[in-house]
Structure 1
């Protein structure tokens, strides 16, 4: 990613994320992209983490201060979180304190992380502004899960974490609308998720995916689900929809990529078996890097039938790979995705099946333009162009920097 922030004073920004493990979901990818972009823009970025598993190896050189690493984030490894509440140890708090003191602004991620209560309190005591990114975790659907525990957490410090933040960062207006009731007097800002679009400038093509998964090349449409495999993601809806669709598309193939608990994966496989479509459903596990992009490209439609999603980064990734997207109104950015040609549907298997049936039948029956270009290809190309314009990294970086400046001005004003 090339540096793209407009000239302004360099900021010293401290990010804290307990675990940098991409199997935990899209939050990790979002944090990696934003700290990378800010560092390449000339800002001094430090990332504190208790687990640096998926931090790029080159970032470790930044800790040594080498010339080559001047535009990389500095990763500071901490010891393991401890106790049932997973809090930072006294020795780690000493390290964290030194970095908070040296920063202009602190950036915390997710409201339900107990160690964030420690860092928020520390930043407040040291008179340092902190930004708190919610990552969709105060959305109505999320809050309704284990609601009594979350309500107790808010009473025991979570509300204070929200109210004392210099800015609460949401990635969509819809997220702010759902979340604001939990801290109506707090200061809020909306900046979309920063996506490193440079890796999508030259796509790898379909060959790698087809070599690893030969059945992609067999007759029939290929539907792709790629995400953490969790109940909220709606994989059951996709399997049920596929059972309905095979009457019209008997050669339909559904590819389910991502990590999941073995017991839950077995339940999904049994569901497909009971519906008589085991041969149509393919579980391929975690897919990374160029193979992931190739798999997006090889799919005819990317499907995310989720109950709730904040930014839905995988849908954005699919669109950047020229792949049409179908998802639900449970995604906070559904309006933005729809603007790029994504099909948005209600959160139930019947609606998922109906939307896919229409999409696939149109692709089978229609041709457009004089080049006989398929409607799916046209929709995919439209989506890619839309995302490249909407999530232009220069614009998003500058919006994030303005959010930081807003936080600093708030703290400098003496407000609390």
Structure 2
């Protein structure tokens, strides 16, 4: 198949959807499919050139909605080159532009909502929700209604999506998300990370890795960490990720007020060996998010053998709790403190068992091959409901299983 993915941007700082397209695209390319991408980036942007697939960049966009007059005409003229078009995300023009171009086309389009219909946003940002209502009936509602399928990554996400807008119609399908964890020399990347941040040598690192954003609960993580820090003088909190809103100074001030300024590090966004070194140098991964569709970093942490201490607003929390691959609590200071304390109370046997289970959970639930098989089956069926138990393995998955 020849597949076109549409995103607002392929900038890795924008979060999980970009990484998801990159990882799944590489895996599908390996299985013999052709991948192209369209976005509203500026053609000369460095992240456009660095993306591993041909990117048709139509930017810069003229406003925050991402309006671009070039996108829809290009789609209308080029859609027949593709077997499927996959839209990632809502509330940006690239989705509405796709609907305008393809609503009467024989080329099917699909929409990944990526958690953007979660009712948490309605509760947390009521004014923004009212603004979204202004263009929901004439834009996003029609984008979802006319899509060949609207793709959710978990049953939890699908159920919650129905609660945001009463005017809602969609052919709902679930495609489990997945990612890859590269086979690296763990000692080498750990050394690289600790060389870059020598103050962490000999520390017992609690790692947050993701966008530094209010919905991620970084502030309550700092407060919870401050409450338990006295339990172990070697504990150190690392909050790594891009700071889109300029929140880091406030978080550092919060840590200063709590008396743990010397026990927290905010290194910014980590990539490559530094990112994987952070996982392999840490003892636990923490994500007390108020809303999280999947959390690519959660799966990556599990793949590196890190127990995941997450909130029950991360949509894979049931799988983590059921497997014993981490600990789950509410998205509050008290809930995060409870998880940290439970983790600290584990003896050596319990810690080793949880780390081993983290790896098993990644391999059984969150590998990229699972996602590729499910997505390929959906696209080949033109959006029909598919029983994954009867779906043939893709060549990639067959090769992977044979190599075990």
* TM-score normalised over the length of structure 2: 0.87
Q: Does 1:88 align with 2:63?
A: no
Q: Which moved more, 1:393-402 or 1:288-297?
A: 393-402
Q: Does 1:380 align with 2:360?
A: no
Matches within 5 A, 1:226-265: 226-261=209-244, 263-265=246-248
Conserved 8 A contact 1:131-1:407: no
Matches within 5 A, 1:347-386: 347-362=331-346, 366-368=347-349, 375-386=350-361
Conserved 8 A contact 2:210-2:240: yes
Q: Does 1:315 align with 2:298?
A: yes
Q: Give the structure 1 partner of residue 147 of structure 2.
A: 165
Q: Does 1:99 align with 2:83?
A: no
Q: Does 1:300 align with 2:280?
A: no
Q: Give the structure 1 partner of residue 3 of structure 2.
A: 13
Question: Using the alignment, how far apart are the partners of 2:291 and 2:271 within structure 1?
Answer: 23
Q: Which moved more, 1:48-57 or 1:23-32?
A: 48-57
Conserved 8 A contact 1:233-1:305: yes
Conserved 8 A contact 1:224-1:303: yes
Q: Does 1:29 align with 2:19?
A: yes
Question: Using the alignment, how far apart are the partners of 1:79 and 1:161 within structure 2?
Answer: 21
Q: CA deviation at 1:350?
A: 1.3
Q: CA deviation at 1:353?
A: 1.0
Conserved 8 A contact 1:13-1:46: yes
- The 1:116/1:262 distance shift into structure 2, 3 A limit, reads closer
Q: Deviations over 1:27-50 (max 9, x none)?
A: 110111122222221112221123
Q: Give the structure 1 partner of residue 180 of structure 2.
A: 196
Q: Give the structure 2 partner of residue 389 of structure 1.
A: 364
* TM-score normalised over the length of structure 1: 0.84
- The 1:273/1:27 distance shift into structure 2, 3 A limit, reads same
Conserved 8 A contact 1:137-1:143: no
> How many corresponding residue pairs?
375
Q: Give the structure 2 partner of residue 137 of structure 1.
A: 116
Q: CA deviation at 1:205?
A: 4.5
RMSD: 2.1
Question: Using the alignment, how far apart are the partners of 1:301 and 1:186 within structure 2?
Answer: 38
Question: Using the alignment, how far apart are the partners of 2:100 and 2:73 within structure 1?
Answer: 14
Conserved 8 A contact 2:85-2:109: yes
Q: Give the structure 1 partner of residue 328 of structure 2.
A: 344
- 1:206 is paired with a residue whose SS is helix
Q: Give the gaps of 5 or more residues in structure 2.
A: 386-404
Q: CA deviation at 1:409?
A: 6.0
Q: Give the gaps of 5 or more residues in structure 1.
A: 1-10, 60-72, 369-374, 411-416
Conserved 8 A contact 2:153-2:175: yes
Q: CA deviation at 1:53?
A: 3.9
Conserved 8 A contact 2:308-2:326: yes
